[in-house]
Structure 1
Amino acid sequence: MTDITARLEELGLTLPDAPAPAANYVPYVQSGAMLYVSGQISMDQNGLITGKLGDSLDVEAGAKAAQRCALALIAQAKAACGGDLSKLKRVVKLVGFVNSTPEFTDQPKVINGASDLMVAIFGNAGKHARSAVSAASLPMGVAVEIEAIFELA
């Protein structure tokens, strides 16, 4: 696997602080070599990225929101690994939820924002199984929420 920290720098990306849970759950659970990361919502340095795909947001904006979710997922994984990203062996699966209108059918294109970023950062170890589904609404009106499963070395 590539050096994740170096690859983030090459891409001009900075991981956010791992967000604290907003309700009665933990941000991640490790079971054996598997790390399950709770859903991370779309937010950036300006706060929550809200809106509905097919209404107030287009696919490009949705993909950027999904990229922000991916960075938060990696930040949570980093926290789970005691700050050592080299302990991440691969991205196993992403499950993406897109706040969208009933007519919107490009959920996969939105979640590609996260999938493409995982491959850009992790290389072949970033290729993963995935689901991309529509949601009538998401917490706090965010545009995207994504959860992940990572394999640890």
Structure 2
Amino acid sequence: MRQMFKSPSVRHILLGLAGLGALIAARPAPTQTLAQALHDVAALKAQVQGFAGGAPARIDPRLVVPRCLAPALSWARADVVRADCASPAWTLYVPIDQPFALGSAPGALPQARARPAIWRGERVLVEAGGQGWAVSIEAEAERDADGNRIALKGPAGRRFTGRIEEGGKVVLAR
């Protein structure tokens, strides 16, 4: 038996186990319950629906994500809302059921879409500004515009969403 403890690999394993046991014993008791550490998925669904103008959001109520104080919402596509959390870092893509157009009955075929204002691959000038200042940058459309929103990629490869205003002017979406 003594011969076994003289082996360097066995001693390293025993020392590692002893250190692990000391770390576990010294760990403070958790201050949050599991429910406090998780994000309220029903509240997130309500936020997404509010962002989408009341259109029903499809989020599985069994979804488990870490708690986020203020998820940032943006359009990923015309029928998908992107929810981002900075800390802890996570991103969700939430499908949205498009509301029926006025005067259409459930089950009716959707109306044909008009030609997009901006095509995929097209280069556009995007403007961002405030009171007394403005900055513009050239970006590339990642896909065809959906309504007044467009997914863009800047010169450094960073992706963001633009809003198409009257006259085809593109501004940074907030």
What range is the shorter-chain TM-score in? under 0.3
Structure number with bigger Rg: 2
Q: TM-score, normalised by structure 1?
A: 0.23
* Structure ranking higher on relative contact order (CA contacts 8 Å, 6+ apart): 1
Higher share in helix? 1
Q: TM-score, normalised by structure 2?
A: 0.21
